[in-house]
Amino acid sequence: MRFTRHPTKIFVTFEDTEQFDCPMTTADVAASRSSPCLQGIKLPPRMRQCGRPKGQGSTVIGLPKRRGAGRMVLFDKLPSSLKEKIMLSWFVSLTDADSAIKMHWQINEDQVQCRPELVPSACIDADVDMRIIRRYFTDRAWQAVEIVINVKGKSDVYTCGSGTNELGVQSVGCDSCLRWLDFKCVALKAAPKAPRWFCRGCRALLASQ
C-alpha cells in the first residue's frame, strides 16, 4: 500500500493482486487521524490567491502603469472636445485652442493662420465638418478661416503636415488628426504594415488628456 499526495486529496493505492485508487477527502483524513497508516502524513498548505500577479500593474522600473494609455482612436470616434481641439489646431496655436475650449473665449482674426500653405489639408477632408468649431471664432475670424478653406479646396498642391514642403509621392496619413506627412518627416522607409497609423503628435496629445 502506498500514499500519493494531492492538494485536496490523498490517494491510497493497495498493491495486491489488483491495484485501484481510493480517493480520500480532507474530511476523511481528519476523521481517521488515529489510524496508524495515516500518521505522519501532512497535507500541503493551501495557498490563497487573490488579486493580480505581482508586477503586472507596474512598469519595468516599478512605476504604476497608466491604464488605457496608448489607445489611439480614429478621428470620427474621438471625443468631441478632443476632435474640436485638433480641428482648431489647424488654424491656431494649441494654446489658443485650449483657451477657446476651456475658457469659452472666441478666437480673433489676428490669431488665425491665414497662409493656406501652412494649414493642413485635413481641413478640406470630406469626412470633416468644419461647422462644429464655428462658435469658437468671431465673425471676422471665421471669414478668414473660410477664405483659407476655399483656397486650399481649389489648389491641386498638397503640403506636408510638418511644414511648407509639397507632399511627396511617398506619404502617410494619420488616422486621428488626418494630416498627411512625407515618409522622411516621420522616419519611415516604407508604408506601415498596420491598417491604421497615428502620428507622434496625436500620441502625445492623447497622453496629455
pLDDT on residue 114: 94
83 closest CA partner among 101, 58, 108: 101
3-state secondary structure 149-181: HHHHHHCCCCECCCCCCECCCCEEECCCCCCEE
Neighbours of 106 (CB within 10 A): 15
Can you give the pTM of this predicted structure?
0.60
Whether the CB-CB separation of 72 and 196 falls below 8 Å is answered with yes
Walk along the chain (209 residues) in steps of 10 and give the mean pLDDT of each run. Answer: 51 48 55 58 67 58 54 86 92 94 94 91 89 96 96 84 76 88 88 89 75
Cα angle 95, 100, 101; round to 5: 100
Hunting for cell 508604408 — which residue is that? 191
Distance CA 206, CA 149 (A): 26
